[in-house]
Every structure is written in structure tokens, then in C-alpha cells.
Amino acid sequence: MELVILILRIYTIFEIAILLIYTLRHFVFTFNRIFGEQRLYYQDIVDSDLDKVTILVPMHNEELVARDVMTQLTTVVDYPRDKFEVIPINDHSSDGTREILDGFAAKYPFIKPLHRDEGGRGKPHGLNDAMDLATGDIIIVFDADYIPSKGIVRDIAICFKDQQVGAVMGRVIPKNTGTNMLTRLLDMERSGGYQVDQQARHNMRMVPQYGGTVGGFRKDVALWLGGFNPYLLTEDTELTFLLFLRGWKVVYANKAECYEESPEDWGVRSRQISRWSRGHNQVMMKSMIPLFRTKHLNFKEKVDGLLLLLIYSIPLIMIIGIPVSLLLFFLGQMNLIDMFLIFILVAAYNSFGNFAPFYQIGTASYIDGVGDRLKLLPLFFFGFLFNVLYISQGAASGMLDVILKRNPEWAKTTRFRKKE
Amino acid sequence: MLSALFKSDSSSLSLKDPEVIEKSQRESIASLPENLREILDPGSAIEKNQIYYHRSYRKLKQHSLLNIAVQVLVQIVLIDFFIFYYYPQITEAISKVTKAVLATAISQELIEIVPSLYIYDNVHVVTLPGRYPSLKLSIIVAVLSLTFFFLSISLKRVIEPKFVWLIFISFINLTASLFFIFYSGYFPYDMEVFSEMYIKTEVGIWIIIPFILTIALLPFPIKMIKKVGVIILTILYSMVFALVRYIVFLYLLRTTTYLFMALMFFMLGPFLDFIYIVGSYSLCLSTAGKQTQKKMELWNWLF
């Protein structure tokens, strides 16, 4: 019995140590963002010789949102038309997406829809096929529910003037924030993730992440890397690590803002975070050893890369910790120190399971100028176990995918935009 | 300085000119849902009297080391000194009130206040005889918890946050009831041990609150008097909340048995304390945010 207690205690200490490391990490990020010197991207470069850009917009049954994103790209986005093409990827849609895209293509010659009715479905498949057709040197991806702003293509494309830059990530801002409690909380979570987390990692020359949308990458590099693995659910995380492991840099452009539609119900949210977690952990299983071996990253970047890779495994560690704590309780091992540890653990666990401690979200929201909505911060508590459950589910699936060599199917995020 | 007065920002200057907007653009925008038009419609640009730093790279001015030292001294050292000095008396007061309230429902002879050493002095805790659950109660709770647990999981729909919490509660109750069905005699705690752990944890939380709130609020340009006020109010709330929970816990443990001790321990203990600490932080920051957003002297750009 003593051995069992010892193992349980070691696990608890391991769990707390991991959570404290993440708390410290986010503390450093937060203070860097609020007090540190901010590192710009390349928006101040003025160059008339802009690279040719291909915009890819993956779509599967996106009739609710397709018209909006295409309208933005055709009438608002500001980039020389001779160096600009848009390839909306109609990926096995069975709704009116095809007709919408064809309508735009008839009107604008730089719109070149790719209708995919055969072959595997999913974003990586679509991106691979579209890259074969793309004539641009730079690929910029927008998800179908995004609303690109006027200067965003130039802002992202100009970064590639630096030959070390392999990918660029812009900032995602929810548009439907006021819809309900979930969207309000997601807005603050997004704020913490971009305004503080990504910008601090960019400031500190660590590992900012390419997020798969509102971002771009070099086409030739992506093709040289073999394109996207169609069986990984987070092609963005995969590309981030493939680039860093080969000596390329990822730039975070905090001013390159783009509006998105965030999930409006918990069902969609659960599938989204579960998919992110599954894909992220697939990449974690594949990238962990190369991360240690690569000579292209310094110690600081390796540590940050490791913590980034592990981030979606934390809820799994935590969910295993629940029965461990219960066992310790019934074995009479729950003393005062454990009570404190539990408290710290909860406090440390990134304030309610969303990878951003309360002070990180608070700081980000303060910088963003959020007022009354900040009062909702304690409500993240109610999503705590929800996040832990679905991220753990995704994490376990992702790890098993790699071990059992399974090929998961791509799942599309449901849209909520109203039809008019 | 970038805050120089302008009639309008550069983007609105060009966008407001109707000649710049092609007819097709306007038609496309008009066809959009209403909630998107405000973003896309160049005509909706607002004339600004002053341009503030864009959110992307603004930051706050760094505090001097002296300022940080004073904040730490006043908000942590001084407040914690009072807590360290008075916690024996505070816990004694809490225990006396708890005893008085419980005495209205439970025989007064059964309730005692006992001292227990903590840090350098005694805390005072309430003790009273506890009760073990009957086999029947344990089985009923086990069956109910198991049923709910598997029903929730087998329902092939998304489990919303409230259901996730209920599943968690069911899981704790299931574990506890199985323990009492098979190992009832081995339950390692009694009311006194529970009381000690609870009160000592709460004292620990009062000590930690100044640390958490001082560090979390450190970057923000909020007057120290306000920060001290927030910390003291949070500690006072914590004391009152600790008292209320203490009374409820002891009453429930006495009437419903030790079966639910694990639930109180894991769900309603320090777990709940963190919510109001974050609540205090968010209230303070929300108020400060509204007051300071447009005070240009508080913000820096890039450096």
C-alpha cells in the first residue's frame, strides 16, 4: 500500500510541477506584453515590388458565409490585382457554395474556384490541391467565416521580404462577441491568446504559432516540405514545427487583424477544441524528438516549443489527477499541504482550463480596451471541466492516432451566420 | 506625440470620399447581413477628434522599483502581518458563531471548540460527533450516481458545462459511496480533522489573497488605496464566506453523514475560493480599464 501511496504522491507532485511551470510561463508572457519592448512585424516596409499572392479559402458547405468573405476579397481587400488571385476551395460541398463561387468567378477574373468533388475531403487535402494550381509565391489562407480587412493581405505578404520568414500569423478577433455568454468568453480567451501570448512569444523571439487562417506561408517551402499531411487535424501546428525545425521563422503580426465567427453553442465548441487537441497531440507525438535534435533552435526556443507542444496534454494529465486525488483522500493522505496544492493547482491551471491564466486574459482585455465584459472573467470557471473533458478526449485520440496509425476524418465547424 | 489632434484618421479620409467607392462595392456591401455592414461599409467611418494608440502595440508605463517595493510592503507585508497577528482571534470568532448557529439545530453539549496549532499559534475549530452512512444510504447514492454517470456518458450528445459538473459530482459521490459500502470502517477522517483542514486552509487562503491580487494588479495604473481596498474587501468576503460554508458543511456532515465529505472537500472547498478572488480582480480591472483607457499619459507605444 505504501508503494501505491508513493506513486500517487509522485503523480500529484508531477502534475503540480507541470502546472506551476505553465503558470510561470504565462506570468512571464503577461509581464512582457504589458511592460516589455514590443516587437513589430514588417508593416513599415514600403516596397512597390510586392510578391504575387494566392489567397486560399477552404470551404465545405459554406453557403451561409461564402458570399461575405468573397465580397471582402473582391471589393475591400487592397492589393495590386495583377499580383493577386483567390482560389476558393469548394471541398465536396452539397449546398449552394459552388454557385456562389462561380458567380464571383464570372465577375472577377482573379477568382479561380477549385471545385473538389473527388478525392479525400478536408482542409489539408484542399490546400494541397490548391497549391498545385496557385501561381502566387505566397499563400495566404482565410477560413470561410472570416472577414479580411482592407490592408491585411499586404500586411502579411510584406513580411516575406525577410528571407528567413517561412510563415506569418495575423490576429483573430471574434465578430459575434455579443451573441451569448459563450461568445463573450471566447472573445476574451482569444484576446489572451493573441494580444498577450502570441505577441509575447514574438517579442521574446520564441515560437509564435502559425494558426492556419489569417496567415500565410511560402508556397515553395510548403511544397518542399511535402505539402500538408491530410491525416493531421491541425495542419497549422504541423507547419509551424516543420518550419522551425528547419530553421525558418514564424512572424506574428498583431496589427493584421481579421474578424471571425466564433462558436455560438457548446456542442460546436466541444467539437472544435476536441479537434484542435487531437490534431495538436498528433503533431506533438511526431515533433517531440525532432525538436530536441534540431540544431536550428536555441535552448529558449526549444523550451517554448516543448511547452507549446505539450499544452493540449495538460488537461489529460489533469483528468487523470482527479481519481488520483480521490484515492489519496480515501487513503487518508489528504493533509493540509495537499489542500494548498489543490488550491494552487486550480489557480495554476491556467484559470479554468483555457490555457490562459486569469491575469493573462485580464491584461489582454485591458490592453484591448474591454470594459464591462471583463467582469465575466470568473465565469470561465463554469467551462473549466468542460474544457478539461473535451481537450482530454481529443488528446487521447490524437496520441492513439499516432500509436495505432489511425487516419482521422476532418470535421467542419458549424457556422451560425444568419441567411438574409 | 502621436496623440496630436486630427480631424479624422487617415483611413477615414480616403474612405469617406464617395468617389473612391465604386458602385459595385456599395452594392456588394448593401447585400451583406446587417451585422457585417458596419465593418465593411467605408461610409460608416467615424470622425475622430483624437487618435489613441492602436491596441496592437500599446503598453503601460513601467513602475519604478520604489513603487513596486511600496506596493509589496503595503499590500502584502502589512496586510499579511495583520492576518498573522489576528488569525487565532478570527478563527475563534468564526468557531463561536458556528457553534452558536449549530446549537439551534444540534444539542449544544455535543459541540466543542478546540485549539489546534497552526504556523505559530492555535486556530480554533468546532468539533462534534459525526455519523457514518448506513449501508442502505451508500447503496442508494451509488446506484443514483452510477445511473446518472452512465446515462450522461451514453447519451450521444454534447455534454454541456452544467452536465459535466454533475458528472464530476456523480463520480465523487460514486467513489465515496463505494468506499463506504466496502471499507466503511477505514474512513480516515472525523469531524475534528475535517474542521482543522478546513479552517487552516481558509487561513492559508487569507494569507495568499494579498499575494495573488498584488501580483495580478501590479501592472495597472490603479491607486494603491484602491488596491488595498480590493484586497481587504476580498479577505473580508472570504472570511464571511468561510464562516457560512463552515456552518453549512458541519451541519450537512452531521445530518447527512461523512458520505458527502469528499464532495465538500473537492467541490466546495478551496476550489470555490478562487472564483471570488478572480471576481475581485475582474471588478477592479474592469473599473480601472474604463477610467484609464483614454488617459494617454498612462500608455506607451512600443517601448
Residue A299 contacts B where some CB pair is shorter than 8 Å: no
Q: B37-68, pLDDT tens digit by residue?
A: 655 555 555 667 777 888 999 999 988 999 99
Query: Which residue in chain A has the smallest CA separation from B213?
Result: A359
Mean pLDDT confidence for B265-282: 87
Higher pLDDT, A99 or B185: A99
| Alpha-carbon gap: A323 to the closest alpha carbon of chain B (Å) | 9
Q: Measured between beta carbons, which residues in chain A are less than 8 angstroms from residue B187? A: 330
Q: A342-385, pLDDT tens digit by residue?
A: 665 656 555 545 567 889 999 999 999 988 899 999 888 888 88
Residue B7: per-residue pLDDT: 34
d(CA B160, CA A116): 35
Residue B43: per-residue pLDDT: 57
Is residue A379 within 8 Å of residue A181, measured between CB atoms? yes
Residue B120 contacts A where some CB pair is shorter than 8 Å: no
Please name the residue that has the C-alpha cell 508531477: A14
Answer yes or no: is pLDDT of B166 > 80: yes
What average pLDDT is seen over chain B?
Answer: 85
Q: Tell me the DSSP string of B183-227.
A: -GGG----HHHHHHHHHHHHHHHHHHHHHHHHHHHTTS---HHHH
Q: Give the pLDDT band (50/70/90) at residue A339.
A: low
Please name the residue that has the C-alpha cell 496592437: B56
Residue A21: per-residue pLDDT: 87
Answer yes or no: is pLDDT of B14 > 90: no
ipTM: 0.90
Q: Give the pLDDT band (50/70/90) at residue B271.
A: confident
Inter-chain touch A71–B293, beta carbons under 8 Å? no
% of chain A with per-residue pLDDT over 70: 94
Residue A56: per-residue pLDDT: 97
Residue A74 contacts B where some CB pair is shorter than 8 Å: yes
Higher pLDDT, A373 or A48: A373
Query: Which residue in chain A has the smallest CA separation from B276?
Result: A378
What average pLDDT is seen over chain A?
Answer: 90
Residue B233: per-residue pLDDT: 97
Answer yes or no: is pLDDT of A120 > 70: yes
Mean pLDDT confidence for A196-206: 96
Query: Which residue in chain B has the smallest CA separation from A274?
Result: B158
Residue B96: per-residue pLDDT: 97
Q: B236-266, pLDDT tens digit by residue?
A: 999 999 999 999 999 999 998 999 999 988 8
Answer yes or no: is pLDDT of A235 > 80: yes
Task: Tell me the helices (H) and strands (E) count for chain A, helix number first.
Answer: 16, 8
Residue B84: per-residue pLDDT: 94
Higher pLDDT, A413 or B132: B132
Query: Which residue in chain B has the smallest CA separation from A26?
Result: B216
Residue B294: per-residue pLDDT: 81
For residue B274, give the C-alpha cell. Answer: 478562487
| Alpha-carbon gap: A71 to the closest alpha carbon of chain B (Å) | 6
Residue B154 contacts A where some CB pair is shorter than 8 Å: no
Q: Give the pLDDT band (50/70/90) at residue B235.
A: very high
- Which of A202, A248, A250 is CA-nearest to residue A221? A248
d(CA A263, CA B33): 18
For residue A407, give the C-alpha cell. Answer: 487516419
